[in-house]
Structure 1
Amino acid sequence: MAWIAAYVGALAYFIPRTKARSWQASEARSKLMGRIVDGYSNILTLKLFAHTRREEAYVADAMGEQVDKVRRMTRMTTAMDATITTLNGFLIVGTSGLAVWLWSQGRVTVGAIALATGLVIRINNMSGWIMWVVNGIFENVGTVQDGLTTIARPRAVQDRPDAVPLVVTRGDVRFEDIHFHYGRPMPRVGDAGHGGPDADRAIEVPDPSEPSPDMRRTRRAGVAQGGATPASQLRGVIAGLDLHVRPGEKIGLVGPSGAGKTTMVNVLLRLYDLEGGRILVDGQDIARVTQESLRSQIGVVTQDTSLLHRSIRDNILYGRPEAGEAEVLEAVRKARADEFIPQLVDGEGRTGFDALVGERGVKLSGGQRQRVAIARVLLKDAPILVLDEATSALDSEAEAAIQESLDLLMRGKTVIAIAHRLSTIARMDRLVVMDKGRIVESGTHAELLARDGLYARLWRRQTGGFVAVEDEAAA
């Protein structure tokens, strides 16, 4: 009984500590691998800034921490093994000594001694096997927990139990009084700790008589929270925004960085759930439809196009896997990707549509990746199209070629395009100018220039008037 109590006590002492140190070792290993991958992923930056030795020291520091944590875990498991081995030794010696003493007193027979010794040896072997299994489990429990933390995290956006598939026949999109702020607090005016000179001043959308009906007069951004929200709290958020994109209409979202343009696209795709208001597609609230059906009706071309490490054909077919060869070739032709695909050769000798593009498409130039992405969206043929800085990373020649493909892609679709380079969207049916999460102007290119507002200032800066505009502001 004394040995059993000591054995259980040893398990109770060592197992939690082994688990904790295993977790620490796993964390240190993850940090080390993260730094190594980060260095290799940004190898050009390392070379350009001549920080090779600095990065070596950075990785060596993580390696030293990992070695230290592994040693601490190993010392704990070794101490546990030594303790159990010692207890087992005491069990054998104690049992054998007691048996010999009892035999000398004539209280037991030799057969009883043999039986007791055999049982003790078996218990010793079984306890050693148990500790070997337990030791193995808890040495790796940190790695398992680390993996589960990553892959078993609950989804932030989930379909409702009664969600239905989205059916799009027209492509009408409405943003109605939407509120979103990436989880940052939006306090009410007068709340403790939120005073200051702007604490009692609400952000108001101006009341221009000429903008579109999408701009509500004197909308106070803090209504959803029961009061006006300080201006400082509204940066990079959307608060009380309304916008109607008619079927087949092509609109451009413009404005300074942080105005909320990409956020509007993210909530339309339901990468995040709104905190207030709703978005309707053909009259259907996107919060009440399945995410898969929603995204299947929206084609997206982004600035940083990522391709899968697969063949050109596989990447294009990702838009519509069941498409036939003729449809793929037609999409490639419209995207003008047929100009370079036949010449592609990968490291394994595969050519054309069978050539692998590399991780994230690194074996292709920026213009080539964009053309493959456009071909993929052309093949998808969704009724709603989102262009998020689709040509901003390209040179003028590549942009001109891509723009022709985009014009084909936009034909007959409802289009929402985001661009900082205003010349790329000046021909849109309507331009919506955003600033600090609200719509401040709306109209055609010519109408917005005539108003001489934010859009006109942005346009002058991009067409050579930067110095003049700054001089006017200074005056």
Structure 2
Amino acid sequence: MSHLNIAPHLERLRLLYPVRWRIAAGLLCMALTVGAQLAFPQAIAYFIDNVAALTRRGVTPGMVAAMLAFSVLYALASAARFYLLQSGGHMIVMGVRRRLFDVVINQPIAFFDKHHGGELNSRLTSDVSALHESLTIGAANALRSLCVFVGGIAMLLQLSPMLSLPLALFIPISLYLGKLSGSNYRLRARAISASLAASGKVAQEYFAHARLVQAFNQQGGAMARYAQAMRQLLDVSLAGTRLLAVFQGAQGLLAFVALLTTLCFGAHLIGQGRLSVGELTAFVIYASMVTDTAGSISEFWNTWMRTMGSTDRIFDILRSHRPVPESAPQPPLAGHIALREVRFAYPERTQVTALDGVSLTIRAGEKIALVGASGAGKSTIASLVLGHYQPDAGSLQFDGIDARVLGVAQLRRQMAVVEQEPALFSGSIADNIAFAVPDRQVTREEMLAAARLAHAHDFITAFPDGYETLVGERGVQLSGGQKQRIAIARAILRAPKILILDEATSALDAASEQLVQRALDTLMQGRTTIIIAHRFSTIVKADRIIVLDNGRICQQGTHAQLLRAGGQYARLMQQQLSQFQQLHDSTATL
């Protein structure tokens, strides 16, 4: 077998290293049970061939005690083997899940653009679980079967080399069938794993948007789409099951034919006086052991190849991770940002240019607003500043130093973002505010101070559980304005040098917007701020407005300067004013 073929197997076997002593103890217990299993047919042969003498002499208390001690030892060794190997398997699975989660959570944002959360969750759960049975209990049982197989053949040859001849044909055929079906299993397991991930993606997507599904009466469509995913999964699963059924049937036929041949040939040898009844009985038991274990070895190979197929994608992800070296410590940022002839296209849409030669300088402490139609490049600039993507051409600098020199981790420690739909976790309000500071414990006083500055303290303390109130998944228990102010409190607690406000007030009513805007005014003081906004009330507070069109800067200046100049900005403001006037007229009519 070539190195290329054996490398994936070794990659999985290396997972055993952290629990090697537990596995070794389990294998020692297994050796005891195998020895007992191989000795058992010889004991039966002795009893059959010496039944007359034993009947005359009787069973002595010493023999009873020895058999009882043997049984207890066998039971203890079996229990210890099962516990040690099963617990080792759980530890391996836990370790792989942690490694996989650590690798995935540290992937660049482009990775999450390509892979759906439901698919990744399927890799983390069902695919990793496949390692448990095959890598510990399955592998140990296969090794046990191999030991019984080799020991059984040795005992068969000792009892009667002639009677062993029929098995010499059965065993190679059985092992060849296992190898043949195993290569097919790996491909089918990969298809099953992909179908499971696809069905998980469908389910998670509809569960995450359950309110929208019900609002549009789309339960039927959701059920139909999930049913289609299940049908695809069933098709590939049944294909694997058919293959397994053929393999099991062929194995059963071979075992039955081998046993009948052994019995017939054994009866012939007894008639010639070349074999005793006890020896034939022991031979049949050993033959059954050998045929069963040969089938078990082949079956394990199939299981192992299924595991290889279902975990291929896991190891692809693990191998793709290259830890980013920590950059040399840098002094705190002043907040100066510069984009120099930046060109960028999203990895999944390389044919569409998102930014086309953008050059922009933002002074430390300056508040700029990015304005433009949808798709103009506003959020793309924010994503580049946050380090979610790297420019395809040009450079991004902070305080005159290239972002790649400073390193993403160091830059993000001095940034905060408040989004249009704040990302809240399903824990408490306190947990969501403290999320801003990952490297230390946040004091109660710090949290209360941040909440007060964000105008959130009053509504939080009005809840019966106060700061321990659970917000629900994605903050569904809170209003839009409340979620926004918690997000602002989180940003205040982070004390960033650079602040990004991504449509932070666009989805709020007038009353909520006033409270949120006061909180934002507090947050922006003394910080370099990039505001992505459409609303006039937010834009006019910027020191400078940057107007984008098709990935290029077409205008920049203050609100008054841009209105006087006309052009794109003036048209955008006129459209907003017309919409406001229409809304006002319709309200007055009502």
TM-score by length of 2: 0.64
- Residue aligned with 1:73, SS: helix
CA contact (8 A) 1:162 1:288 kept: no
CA contact (8 A) 1:389 1:420 kept: yes
The corresponding residue for 2:239 is 72
The corresponding residue for 1:237 is 354
Given the alignment, which residue of 359, 373, 376 partners 2:473? 359
| Higher mean C-alpha displacement, 431-440 vs 90-99 | 90-99
Given the alignment, which residue of 417, 438, 449 partners 1:330? 449
The corresponding residue for 2:225 is 58
Structure 2 unaligned spans of 5+: 1-167, 583-590
Give the partner amino acid of 1:168. P
Q: Given the superposition, is the C-alpha separation of residues 52 and 308 from structure 1 closer, same or farther in structure 2, using an over 3 Å criterion?
A: closer
Q: Given the superposition, is the C-alpha separation of residues 339 and 265 from structure 1 closer, same or farther in structure 2, using an over 3 Å criterion?
A: same
- Residue aligned with 1:14, SS: helix
CA contact (8 A) 1:335 1:371 kept: yes
Q: In 1, Cα distance between the equivalents of 2:355 and 2:372?
A: 13
Shift of 1:398: 0.9
Q: In 1, Cα distance between the equivalents of 2:315 and 2:560?
A: 55
Q: In 1, Cα distance between the equivalents of 2:365 and 2:272?
A: 105
| Higher mean C-alpha displacement, 85-94 vs 373-382 | 85-94
2:463 equivalent to 1:344: yes
Q: Give a deviation string over 1:367-403, Cα, whole Å, max 9, x none.
A: 1111000000100001111111111111122111101
CA contact (8 A) 2:179 2:298 kept: no
Shift of 1:354: 0.9
Shift of 1:288: 2.0
CA contact (8 A) 2:178 2:299 kept: no
CA contact (8 A) 2:179 2:302 kept: no
The corresponding residue for 1:177 is 341
Rg (Cα) greater in structure: 2
| Higher mean C-alpha displacement, 43-52 vs 111-120 | 111-120
1:16-95 → structure 2 map (5 Å cutoff): 16-95=183-262
2:371 equivalent to 1:254: yes
Q: In 1, Cα distance between the equivalents of 2:259 and 2:245?
A: 21
Shift of 1:131: 4.3
Q: In 2, Cα distance between the equivalents of 1:446 and 1:164?
A: 44
Q: In 1, Cα distance between the equivalents of 2:420 and 2:470?
A: 21
Shift of 1:465: 7.6
Given the alignment, which residue of 297, 320, 325 partners 2:414? 297
Shift of 1:446: 0.5
The corresponding residue for 1:154 is 320
Q: In 1, Cα distance between the equivalents of 2:532 and 2:426?
A: 27
Structure 1 unaligned spans of 5+: 187-232, 346-350, 469-475
Q: Give a deviation string over 1:337-374, Cα, whole Å, max 9, x none.
A: 112111235xxxxx111111111111111111110000
2:528 equivalent to 1:414: yes
Q: In 1, Cα distance between the equivalents of 2:256 and 2:502?
A: 71
Give the partner amino acid of 1:77. L
CA contact (8 A) 2:171 2:294 kept: no
Give the partner amino acid of 1:291. V
- Residue aligned with 2:417, SS: strand
Q: In 1, Cα distance between the equivalents of 2:252 and 2:523?
A: 73
- Residue aligned with 2:389, SS: coil
- Residue aligned with 1:340, SS: helix
Q: In 1, Cα distance between the equivalents of 2:388 and 2:579?
A: 38
Give the partner amino acid of 2:369. G
The corresponding residue for 2:142 is none
Give the partner amino acid of 2:442. A
Q: In 2, Cα distance between the equivalents of 1:457 and 1:376?
A: 36
- Residue aligned with 2:384, SS: helix
Given the alignment, which residue of 300, 304, 307 partners 2:424? 307
1:450-465 → structure 2 map (5 Å cutoff): 450-464=564-578
- Residue aligned with 1:17, SS: helix
Q: Given the superposition, is the C-alpha separation of residues 309 and 12 from structure 1 closer, same or farther in structure 2, using an over 3 Å criterion?
A: same
Q: Given the superposition, is the C-alpha separation of residues 311 and 41 from structure 1 closer, same or farther in structure 2, using an over 3 Å criterion?
A: same
Shift of 1:124: 2.0
Give the partner amino acid of 1:326. E
The corresponding residue for 1:281 is 398
Give the partner amino acid of 2:503. E
The corresponding residue for 1:167 is 331
Q: Given the superposition, is the C-alpha separation of residues 158 and 110 from structure 1 closer, same or farther in structure 2, using an over 3 Å criterion?
A: closer
Q: Give a deviation string over 1:218-261, Cα, whole Å, max 9, x none.
A: xxxxxxxxxxxxxxx6x552122111111111111111111111
CA contact (8 A) 1:236 1:258 kept: no
Shift of 1:147: 5.4
Q: How many residue pairs end up in the alignment?
A: 413
Give the partner amino acid of 2:504. A
Q: Give a deviation string over 1:287-342, Cα, whole Å, max 9, x none.
A: 12332211111111111211111111111111124332111111000101112111
- Residue aligned with 2:370, SS: strand
More helix by share: 2
CA contact (8 A) 1:236 1:260 kept: no
CA contact (8 A) 1:181 1:238 kept: yes
The corresponding residue for 1:225 is none
CA contact (8 A) 2:342 2:392 kept: yes
- Residue aligned with 1:278, SS: strand
TM-score by length of 1: 0.79
Q: Given the superposition, is the C-alpha separation of residues 394 and 143 from structure 1 closer, same or farther in structure 2, using an over 3 Å criterion?
A: farther
Give the partner amino acid of 1:425. I
Q: In 1, Cα distance between the equivalents of 2:224 and 2:540?
A: 50
- Residue aligned with 1:463, SS: helix
Q: In 2, Cα distance between the equivalents of 1:450 and 1:60?
A: 59
Q: In 2, Cα distance between the equivalents of 1:342 and 1:467?
A: 39
| Higher mean C-alpha displacement, 22-31 vs 3-12 | 22-31
- Residue aligned with 2:320, SS: coil
